[in-house]
Amino acid sequence: MNLLRIGIVTLVVGLSLMVVTNMRALPIGTGLQGSYIGMFGPFLLEPRETIVVLRSVDPPTDLTLSVINQKFWNPNQNISQTVTAFSIGNLTQSDIVIFDVPSRGLYYVVLSNETGLSGQTSIRLDQRGFAPDLLWVSAALLFTGVITVAVQGIRILKTHKRPA
Amino acid sequence: MTGKMRELMSWELQESWSFPILELVLAVSIIQALTFQLIQPEDANILTSVSDPFWKSMLFLFAISAAVVFGRSFGESIEKRKMVVLLGYPVSRKGIFLSKFFANLFACVLVFGTVLLAEGVMAFLFEPRVAWAPHSGAWYSMNSIAPAIWGFMFLSLSLVVFFTSSLMSFLALATKRFGLSILVFLVFVFGLEYWTGTLSNAEPLAYLSLSRGPAAIVSYLSAAYYRTMGLGYMGTGITFGLFSTALCYLLIGAVALFVVSLLLLQRMDLD
């Protein structure tokens, strides 16, 4: 396979991934999720806008919402010792939290109070918008493809113009 | 593999996957396979949100790719007398058939397998979900079988590609015409798909479908693996009878059509 063909294939892959990025920008949600201890997931989250709605909290109390990568989560450990991707405190029933996860991955959503994991809670989690990581990968491939095709095209043109 | 075979395979790849065939197949398969949506990666959800849609959306592509690539490779080369030229070289008919067939088969598996790999990476199938369950005051983790599901999907993909390749090779060699073989192939594949779509999920004949069959193979093997790993029961609705119908149809059909195609080319009068 010559360099021109490799460039065209890279360009096509980049363009197709851009279409995929656009199609994957549709909102997706978990529906209503209930837990008797305040631990939800793991969810497969993309680095795009994430919305968590606290639908019910029983007993009513101030809660801390933590989003923790699956790799760092162990419920046998104290939650304060865990590395969180996102955390916010003083939440009550009906609160809405909007945030971005740092990278694509499997995440637990943990609701805790002063004494540890919360009691009976239910949430709804949604994601919407473009995933920037996918957009970057597709743009990089597209750019590499365009550059390769252009360079090869110029080289071919120069070869054809050269006098015999 | 001898030098002649390698040369034939390389020539075949350049001929059959010339611009814009590879580009078109790649573009459509990326768009079809990577637009799945998955937020709760439980094993049962992977089957319904990743595996099932993959077979439904990719069937069209498997069929079109096999039709164009194998139709050109066998039907067109007989029609345009390229095969006669090839037979002028010191290489047997068996050698020509095997190099043409396997070059295109491996190329198809490579292209679709790469797209499936990208789907697996995006769905985090290689980093299985860890679920926690309380027991006697402590928490115990349970890994999902996501990597195995991907492995079963890859096996089924190879099987479907082998079947469509063998079927198209047979039709191209039987009709000796590129256009006619494509027409018969597409009418057969999509006709069967339409007919099996009218059957209920409990009927074994429904699994002759090239989308429902591989999905059933993946579901059955995943459920069996889930049970074997002691993770409990996974209800997929696929019994051993339905699974074996799908598997036997694809495997026996592919091998039989491959052998018949080889015999057809060996005994064919090309002059």
Domain segments of chain B: what residues?
3-267
Rounded CA separation A99/A101 (Å): 7
**Would residue A12 count as lying in a domain?**
yes
Hey, are the CB atoms on A12 and B41 less than 8 Å from each other? no
CB A37 within 8 A of CB A117: yes
Are A58 and A74 found together in one domain? yes
Are A76 and A108 found together in one domain? yes
- The mean pLDDT of B216-241, rounded to a whole number, is 93
Q: How many CA atoms lie within 13 A of B215 on its CB side?
A: 25
| Residues of chain A with C-beta less than 8 angstroms from the C-beta of B118 | none
The alpha carbon of residue B122 and the mean position of all alpha carbons in its chain are separated, in whole angstroms, by 21
Are A56 and A98 found together in one domain? yes
DSSP string, chain B: --HHHHHHHHHHHHHHT-TTHHHHHHHHHHHHHTT---SS--HHHHIIIIIHHHHHHHHHHHHHHHHHHHIIIIIIHHHTTHHHHHHTSS--HHHHHHHHHHHHHHHHHHHHHHHHHHHHHHTTTTS--EEEEEETTEEEEEE--HHHHHHHHHHHHHHHHHHHHHHHHHHHHHH--HHHHHHHHHHHHHHHHHHHHTS-TT-GGGGGSTTHHHHHHHHHHHHHHHHHTT---------HHHHHHHHHHHHHHHHHHHHHHHHHHHH----
**Would residue A137 count as lying in a domain?**
no
Give the distance from residue B269's alpha carbon to the nearest chain A alpha carbon, in angstroms.
Answer: 35
Hey, are the CB atoms on A30 and B39 less than 8 Å from each other? yes
Other beta carbons within 10 angstroms of residue B55's beta carbon come to 23
- The mean pLDDT of B147-174, rounded to a whole number, is 97
Are A51 and A15 found together in one domain? no
Nearest CA in chain B to A77: B139
How many A/B residue pairs have CB atoms within 8 Å? Answer: 72
**Would residue A134 count as lying in a domain?**
no
Residues with Cβ within 8 Å of residue B241, at least 6 apart in sequence: B204
What tens digit of pLDDT does each residue of B62-111 get? 999 999 999 999 999 999 998 988 888 888 999 999 999 999 999 999 99
**B66 Ramachandran zone, left/alpha/beta (phi>0; psi -120 to 50):** alpha
Q: Give residue B162's pLDDT band: very low, low, confident or very high (50, 70, 90).
A: very high
Hey, are the CB atoms on B39 and A127 less than 8 Å from each other? yes
In percent, how much of chain B has pLDDT > 70? 99
Rounded CA separation B128/B84 (Å): 53
Interface of B with A (CB under 8 A): 19, 22-23, 26-27, 30-31, 34-35, 37-41, 122-124, 127, 129-132, 138-139, 141
Number of folded domains in chain A? 2
Hey, are the CB atoms on B123 and A75 less than 8 Å from each other? no
Give the distance from residue A152's alpha carbon to the nearest chain B alpha carbon, in angstroms.
Answer: 16
Are A17 and A98 found together in one domain? no
Give the distance from residue A52's alpha carbon to the nearest chain B alpha carbon, in angstroms.
Answer: 13
Amino acid of residue B140: Y
Angle at which helices B93-122 and B52-70 cross, to 10°: 150
Are A89 and A37 found together in one domain? yes
Rounded CA separation A60/A68 (Å): 23
| Residues of chain B with C-beta less than 8 angstroms from the C-beta of A68 | none
- pLDDT (0 to 100) of residue A164: 57
Give the nearest partner residue to A106 out of B26, B41, B122, using CB atoms: B41
Give the distance from residue B261's alpha carbon to the nearest chain A alpha carbon, in angstroms.
Answer: 30
Are A53 and A76 found together in one domain? yes
CB B188 within 8 A of CB B226: no
- pLDDT (0 to 100) of residue B223: 96
Residues with Cβ within 8 Å of residue B216, at least 6 apart in sequence: B207, B238, B242, B243, B246
- pLDDT (0 to 100) of residue A163: 67
Are A11 and A71 found together in one domain? no
- pLDDT (0 to 100) of residue A108: 94
Give the distance from residue A34's alpha carbon to the nearest chain B alpha carbon, in angstroms.
Answer: 14
Are A14 and A62 found together in one domain? no
Q: What is the pLDDT along chain A (164 residues), one digit of tens a residue?
A: 689 999 999 999 999 999 999 999 999 999 999 988 889 989 999 999 999 999 988 878 889 999 999 999 988 888 888 899 999 999 988 899 999 999 999 999 999 888 777 788 999 999 999 999 999 999 999 999 999 999 999 999 888 877 65
Are A93 and A39 found together in one domain? yes
Are A51 and A74 found together in one domain? yes
Q: Give residue B235's pLDDT band: very low, low, confident or very high (50, 70, 90).
A: confident
What tens digit of pLDDT does each residue of B14-57 get? 999 999 999 999 999 999 999 999 999 999 999 999 999 999 99
**Would residue A111 count as lying in a domain?**
yes
**Domain of residue A125, CATH code:** 2.60.120
Q: Is A37 helix (H, G, I), strand (E, B) or coil?
A: coil
Are A84 and A45 found together in one domain? yes
Q: A63 is in which domain, residue-wise?
A: 27-129
Which residue from A90, A131, A87 is spatially nearest to A109, judged by alpha carbons?
Answer: A87
Residue B271 above 80 pLDDT?
no
Interface of A with B (CB under 8 A): 5, 8-9, 12-13, 15-17, 19-20, 23-24, 26, 28-30, 39, 41-45, 70, 73-76, 104-106, 125, 127
- pLDDT (0 to 100) of residue B88: 86
**Would residue A47 count as lying in a domain?**
yes
Kindly provide the ipTM of the predicted complex, given to two decimals: 0.91
Nearest CA in chain B to A39: B132
Give the distance from residue A162's alpha carbon to the nearest chain B alpha carbon, in angstroms.
Answer: 27
Q: Is A71 helix (H, G, I), strand (E, B) or coil?
A: helix
**Would residue A136 count as lying in a domain?**
no
